[in-house]
């Protein structure tokens, strides 16, 4: 993480390639983490005013919105650490909405191994219902006859 | 590490956890593609029946990837999980992560018109989690409820009428 955070655009592009690499190997994981970037995580220059512990939980109502830290890794660690890919970016509070729209698109495109919505099942069901209805009518007719 | 049964309950609980511990709670999204090649017999715990493998040509199917969401607060040790394998849920889950991000960023809760339209079930959850003390959403809830009721009634009526017509036509 010492290398610093990527810009939003760079992060999303590299995340897409990370997903793509998983797909080409057809195996592996992508880990995405989001958390608040609290003032303790910031370099000291950014927090020139020490936080007064005025309330027992000062983080519940911060005076201003805080940025969000987004991380992505391929989960390689221990003996495979040299293959590890780590990406991170910081999203300012006012950029959250736009970021998550694009983030969702990248994720939807990247997570292609998930089950697609099964429409064949619904069709089969419809057919079965029709058949049932038809047979039911037939039985009724027989009874009446 | 409990897996919650529905995405809705997971998101509801996650929002509560984040709003209680906004600084330390993190959400991890794990997308996993399992190995497609048949597992090593030496590695697998139970020996697979050798006769069934050649008879079932399941290999051409795409791998079953899974998506696991985990909300974890290391200070209290609270951990919430949800797992899915449906591609249709991804968009909604990421959008929900965005609204969780708003809570993390200490932004005021925002009414999302898109969510309400697409997933009516989501609306009450948000109000529960974010607008506890606020009385304003009540009106919305009422309106939403009425709207839903009308929709359902309409659908039911339409369906019934259609069924009747079909039957008449057949006879």
Instruction: Say yes or no: domain A8-49+58-133 is CATH 3.40.50.800.
Output: no
Q: How far apart are CA B110 and CA B103, in angstroms?
A: 10
Q: How far apart are CA A61 and CA B19, in angstroms?
A: 10
**Is there a contact between A36 and B167 if contact means CB atoms under 8 Å apart?**
no
Rg (CA), chain B: 23
The position carrying tokens 């729209």 is A101
Spell out which residues of chain B touch residue A75, defining contact as CB-CB under 8 Å. Answer: 30
Interface of B with A in 2-61 (CB under 8 A): 21-36
Interface of B with A in 117-136 (CB under 8 A): none
ipTM of the complex in this document: 0.71
Q: Report pLDDT for B88.
A: 92
β-pairing, A68-73 vs B66-73, is: unpaired
Per DSSP, the three-state class of A14 is helix
| Structural domain spans, chain B | 1-33+63-130, 133-161
Query: Tens place of pLDDT for every residue, chain B, 171 residues?
Result: 689 999 999 999 999 999 999 999 999 999 999 876 554 545 445 544 554 444 444 445 566 899 999 999 999 999 999 999 999 999 999 999 999 999 999 888 765 544 444 444 444 444 444 444 444 444 545 454 444 444 444 444 444 444 444 444 444
Candidate from A36, A100, A117 with C-beta closest to B88: A117
For residue B148, count other CB atoms closer than 10 A to its CB: 13
Which segments of chain B are extended strands (E)? 26-33, 66-73, 78-84
pLDDT tens sequence across B32-71? 998 765 545 454 455 445 544 444 444 455 668 999 999 9
pLDDT tens sequence across A67-90? 999 999 998 888 888 889 999 999
Candidate from A66, A108, A111 with C-beta closest to B106: A66
pLDDT tens sequence across A7-47? 999 999 999 999 999 988 888 999 999 999 877 654 444 44
* Interface residue of A85, A100, A137, A145 to substitute, partner B, most B CBs within 10 Å: A100
Instruction: State the CATH class of domain B1-33+63-130.
Output: alpha beta
């Amino acid at each position: 993480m010492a290398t610093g955070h990527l810009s939003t655009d760079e992060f999303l592009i590299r995340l897409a390639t990370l997903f793509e690499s998983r797909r080409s190997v057809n195996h592996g994981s992508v880990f995405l983490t989001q958390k608040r970037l609290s003032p303790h995580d910031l370099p000291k220059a950014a927090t020139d005013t020490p936080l007064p512990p005025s309330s027992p939980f000062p983080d519940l109502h911060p005076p201003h919105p805080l940025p969000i830290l987004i991380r992505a890794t391929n989960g390689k660690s221990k003996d495979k650490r040299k293959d590890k890919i780590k990406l991170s970016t910081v999203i300012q509070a006012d950029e959250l909405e736009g970021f998550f729209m694009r983030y969702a698109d990248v994720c939807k495109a990247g997570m292609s191994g998930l089950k697609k919505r099964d429409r064949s099942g619904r069709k089969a069901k419809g057919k079965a219902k029709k058949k049932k209805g038809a047979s039911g009518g037939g039985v009724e007719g027989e009874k009446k006859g | 590490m409990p897996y919650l049964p529905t995405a809705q309950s997971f998101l509801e609980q996650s929002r509560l956890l984040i709003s209680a511990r906004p600084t330390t709670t993190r959400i991890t999204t794990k997308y996993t593609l399992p190995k497609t090649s048949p597992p090593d017999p030496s590695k697998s715990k139970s020996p697979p029946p050798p006769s069934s493998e050649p008879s079932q040509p399941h290999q051409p199917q795409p791998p079953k990837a899974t998506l696991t969401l985990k909300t974890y607060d290391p200070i209290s040790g609270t951990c919430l999980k949800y797992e899915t394998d449906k591609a249709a849920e991804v968009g909604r889950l990421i959008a929900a992560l965005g609204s969780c991000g708003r809570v993390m960023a200490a932004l005021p809760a925002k009414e999302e018109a898109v969510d309400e339209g697409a997933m009516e079930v989501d609306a009450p959850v948000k109000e529960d989690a974010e607008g506890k003390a606020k009385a304003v959403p009540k009106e919305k809830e009422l309106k939403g409820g009425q709207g839903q009721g009308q929709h359902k009634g309409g659908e039911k009526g339409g369906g019934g009428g259609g069924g009747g017509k079909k039957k008449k036509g057949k006879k």
